[in-house]
């Protein structure tokens, strides 16, 4: 029996068949009404859907059941979609999973729908203890978790940039880290995306999305 802490991560893997499900990269999202489809605050275009991740054994979404992640691809990066404060990306948090509603505009680009399953739990605190004990170098430890994952800590490409909670003490916690390996998302090749949740914010605005280039 393994228990989950904020420092337990699970790799996000392409999957099929039964068993535990994390959600989907790409495809058309479920449960989003056309009038609620996020538009880019910079250019006004409907944003491109990237992923829907479901709460469960592998993922703690702070009481929400599902997150839907969008990014602006309408202007080839001019909207600064990596910037969490520009409104050129958006994370919706849903209180319920709705797999029946199929609505919304055609998007500027649609990634192929890819089912996601979790890898084995990784205790990242134990990993860092091995670094302290000189059993591993920090770079070996980080390279072992430099993949698509839910939970644990962020592996930064351009320097540590963990967001502070906007509504209370402490930092936000990492919910999802993604690369261009599983699906070739249109962030710079080798780039890494990070979705954080504000642990002090119970509103549907509690998520924070940013990415760094490789």
Task: Using CB under 5 A, list all residues that contact Zn ion.
Answer: 40, 42-43, 72, 74, 79, 88
Question: At which residue do the structure tokens 């996000």 appear?
Answer: 12
Dist. CA 8–CA 22, nearest whole Å: 15
* DSSP code for 162: P
In the structure encoding, which two tokens stand for residue 85, read together?
A: 């404060």
Which residue's CB is nearer to Zn ion, number 40 or number 197?
40
Residue 40 or residue 182: which is nearer to Zn ion going by CB? 40
Give the number of other Cβ atoms within 10 Å of residue 124's Cβ.
21
CB of 40 or CB of 150, closer to Zn ion: 40
* CA-only gyration radius of the chain, Å: 17
Q: Is 56 exposed, middle or buried (0-12, 13-18, 19+ CB in 10 A)?
A: middle
CB of 150 to Zn ion, least distance (A): 27
Quick one: 73 or 94, whose CB is closer to Zn ion?
73
> To the nearest whole angstrom, how small is the minimum distance from the Cβ of residue 45 to Zn ion?
5
If the CB atoms of residues 28 and 86 are measured against Zn ion, the closer one turns out to be 86
- CB-based contacts of 61, cutoff 8 Å, min separation 6: 53, 55, 67, 93, 175, 197
Q: Dihedrals φ, ψ of 171, to 5°? A: -95, 165
- Dihedral, 206, 165, 80, 184 alpha carbons, nearest 10: -70
As measured in angstroms, the least distance from the Cβ of 8 to Zn ion is 36
For the CB of residue 79, give the shortest distance to Zn ion in the complex, in Å.
3
**Alpha-carbon span 70 to 207, nearest angstrom:** 12
Q: Which CB atom, from 74 or from 210, has the smaller least distance to Zn ion? A: 74
**CA–CA distance, 86 with 123 (Å, rounded to integer):** 34
- The least CB distance from residue 74 to Zn ion, in Å, is 5
Q: How far is the CB of 204 from Zn ion (least distance, A)?
A: 21
């Amino acid at each position: 029996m393994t228990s989950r802490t904020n420092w337990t991560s699970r790799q996000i893997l392409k999957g099929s068949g039964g068993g535990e499900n994390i959600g989907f990269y790409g495809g058309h999202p479920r449960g989003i009404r056309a009038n609620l489809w996020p538009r880019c605050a910079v250019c006004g275009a409907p944003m491109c859907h990237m992923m829907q991740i479901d709460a469960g054994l592998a993922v703690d979404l702070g009481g929400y059941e599902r997150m839907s992640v969008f990014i602006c691809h309408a202007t080839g990066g001019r909207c600064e979609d990596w910037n969490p404060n520009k409104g050129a990306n958006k994370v919706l948090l849903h209180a319920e999973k709705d797999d029946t509603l199929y609505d919304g505009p055609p998007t500027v680009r649609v990634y192929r729908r890819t089912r996601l399953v979790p890898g084995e739990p990784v205790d990242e605190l134990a990993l860092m203890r091995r670094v302290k004990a000189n059993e591993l170098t920090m770079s070996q430890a980080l390279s072992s978790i430099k993949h698509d994952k839910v939970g644990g800590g962020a592996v930064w490409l351009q320097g540590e940039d963990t967001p502070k909670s906007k509504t209370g003490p402490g930092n936000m916690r990492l919910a999802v880290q993604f690369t261009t390996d599983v699906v070739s998302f249109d962030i710079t090749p080798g780039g890494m995306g990070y979705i954080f949740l504000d642990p002090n914010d119970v509103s549907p605005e509690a998520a924070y999305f940013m990415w760094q280039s490789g």
